[in-house]
Structure 1
Amino acid sequence: MGAPADARVAAVVVTHNSERHIPGLASSLPAAAEGVGAVELLVVDNASTDQTVAAVGEHAPTATVLPTGRNAGYAAGINAGVAAAGPFDAYVALNPDVRLGPGALAALVAALEVPGTGITVPRLVDERGHHQPSLRREPTVRRALGEAVLGGRRAGRVAWLGEVVHTASAYERPGTVDWATGAVMCVSAECHRRVGPWDEGFFLYSEETDFALRARDLGLACRYVPEATALHVGGEAHTSPELYALLARNRVRLYRRRHPAAAAAAFRAAVLLGESIRAARGSVTARAAVAALAGRTGHLARPAPPARAPARVPDEVRTTTTTTTGQVRP
């Protein structure tokens, strides 16, 4: 990979009824792209029924818009965008509800030069400027049980007790993590070549966990880059019972893929315990998770193996195919 000033970056945004988020993301891209040689913006739209595509045309007219024709999920959207991109040194997967900080892309791309790094992630903050606990440790039975009994915040201060990193000092310095929230993930071309596509068996949630752990299995680390920042609105999974149930279910599905049946059963039991405790305290989202994990809704079938080739969007559905040099122009 060349220096950031020479780097070619494919920025892939996956949208679904994201009209209200497009202006903020688009307005942040020029400053975020400073110091990067060329940025190609690709917006993969998963059958939005609002004015998302029109908003992209208004606020990011140089973007390539790729309608999938269906709500294909986040992983499928990333795969479609990466497959449609021109030559790149790195791609960055973006939620539409983020606003990148100045120079964020250059910092993320530069950190990919650290030996053994395949993925880089920024510091995430909320709309009040408070840092979001975006760093994660590998899921284990002990961590799931620790979070169930102690609560995520207390358990997360101890490495072997919590999956979500709640140690404040961990967010002040760069370093490697097992995985991180997938709102913004920068992936090197080598990592893309070796790891392959994102697993479309996870419609939403756990796909970033799966991708980061598969990269780590190949010796390619996920690196936290605190000087790169992004505002992330997020939070829908914790207010929507349906989305939270899917999040809980996919946590178990991912663990089942990577561990023997007995360990997977123990992990499911630990997650179910935690959600049952929260449900007993009145959490509506936890009640939905309990129903899903207990098999009363949905199922816990093992996800399909990763796709052999990335999802592709036919050329005729592209609305614009423009690559900018030096910055993305909203």
Structure 2
Amino acid sequence: MNSTETVAVVVVTYNSERLLADLLSSLGPGLDGVDWHLTVADNDSADDTVDTLRRLAPDATVVEMGRNAGYAAGINAAVAKSGPFTAVLVLNPDVRLTPGCIRGLLGVLRTEGTGIAVPLLLDGDGELIETMRREPAVRRILGDAFLGAGRAGRIPALGEVVTDPRRYRAETVTDWAEGSTMLISAECWQAIAPWDESFFLYSEETDFALRARDAGFVTRFTPAVHAVHLEGDSRVSPALWALLSVNRVRLYRRRHNRLLAVAFWAALLLRESSRAVLGKAPSRRAVRSLVSPARLRETPGPHTVHGRASA
């Protein structure tokens, strides 16, 4: 590995005070043997996040956004204020690095054709988090609806989430991966950035990874290094689940023609409706959002292209 590697560690915070001490204490061991600098973009936290950052990480650059601008905007702002780098490490505040993991991830990132490297992630109980994803497709939404995500995910044609545990035992290329822990090469960043800020939250990492793949930069997963992700609450929060569902439609509509986009929307509506009937509050909220023209309307962003089918 090149000794001149410098990693720009970027974190986006929002009322993250309780998470910071453990995150910051993991950075030194996790980045052992690597030159790095930390930049944090704070989305107008109402708690003591900023003061805690300045107390615990006095050498970090803190970018105060002045509003809750979203995850993609925070990443873009943090990278813009970072010093020179050969790679960008995007971290959620609830990630905990394990000793030496980023040095190992840098080695994977330098595999030819790789633009994004992601580690194996475990949850707070030490259980595998299924982080690898296949490109969104109508058949995969339907597979999830009729088979359930766990069973569908074992069949590449029918599942978006890779759920076969055997796939997490060897290094492999994946269409995209969840965005809590991503190491991005400077070459990939310069070719693909910025992240699309029209996705306030969710689908921004999908969009970035798929655009990177389109440009010849693959996402590579490795089980040789791992980190811990305590995970958020999108699966239990109706508002966040609804936003996730709407953004999936918006992203798909940007990348496909109108007919396929309508089919994708209908398949997702079918899946969420079937779960809403079973009394799942997040799915009920998602259904209301999916049938709302206002919620599905495109929000202008840096990669919204006039004339393309878009949400």
Q: TM-score, normalised by structure 1?
A: 0.90
* Matched position secondary structure for 1:20: helix
Aligned to 2:309: none
- Report how far residue 4 of structure 1 moved: 5.2
State yes or no: 1:78 paired with 2:72.
no
- Report how far residue 47 of structure 1 moved: 0.1
Identical residues among aligned pairs (%): 52
Aligned to 2:298: 302
The 2-side partners of 1:250 and 1:241 are apart by 14
Aligned to 1:247: 244
Deviations 1:92-137 (A, max 9, x none): 1111111011112111211111000000111111110001011100
Deviations 1:149-177 (A, max 9, x none): 11111100100000000010111111110
State yes or no: 1:59 paired with 2:71.
no
Deviations 1:15-41 (A, max 9, x none): 0001111111011111101121x1110
2:128 is aligned, of 131, 138, 159, to 131
From the superposition, tell whether residues 303 and 174 of structure 1 become closer, same or farther in structure 2 (CA, over 3 Å).
Answer: farther
Structure 1: any 5+ residue segments left out of the alignment?
A: 309-330
State yes or no: 1:19 paired with 2:17.
yes
State yes or no: 1:261 paired with 2:258.
yes
Aligned to 1:176: 173
Q: Is the 8 A contact 2:61 2:82 kept in 1?
A: no
- Report how far residue 61 of structure 1 moved: 2.2
Q: Map 1:33-44 to 2 at 5 A.
A: 33-36=31-34, 38-44=35-41
Aligned to 2:90: 93
Aligned to 2:276: 279
Structure 2: any 5+ residue segments left out of the alignment?
A: 305-311
The 1-side partners of 2:155 and 2:33 are apart by 38
State yes or no: 1:193 paired with 2:190.
yes
Aligned to 1:219: 216
The 2-side partners of 1:268 and 1:39 are apart by 42
Q: Which has the higher contact order (CA 8 A, sep 6+)?
A: 1
4+ residue runs over 4 A deviation: none
Aligned to 2:287: 290
Aligned to 1:10: 8
Deviations 1:53-96 (A, max 9, x none): 12212322221111010100000000001111111000011111
* Matched position secondary structure for 1:66: strand
Let me know the Cα RMSD of the aligned residues.
Answer: 1.3
The 1-side partners of 2:236 and 2:301 are apart by 30
Q: Is the 8 A contact 1:4 1:109 kept in 2?
A: no
* One-letter identity of the residue aligned with 1:130: E
The 2-side partners of 1:280 and 1:154 are apart by 21
* One-letter identity of the residue aligned with 1:139: P
Q: Is the 8 A contact 2:153 2:160 kept in 1?
A: yes
- Report how far residue 307 of structure 1 moved: 5.7
Q: TM-score, normalised by structure 2?
A: 0.95
Q: Is the 8 A contact 1:4 1:35 kept in 2?
A: no
Aligned to 1:228: 225
* One-letter identity of the residue aligned with 2:60: A
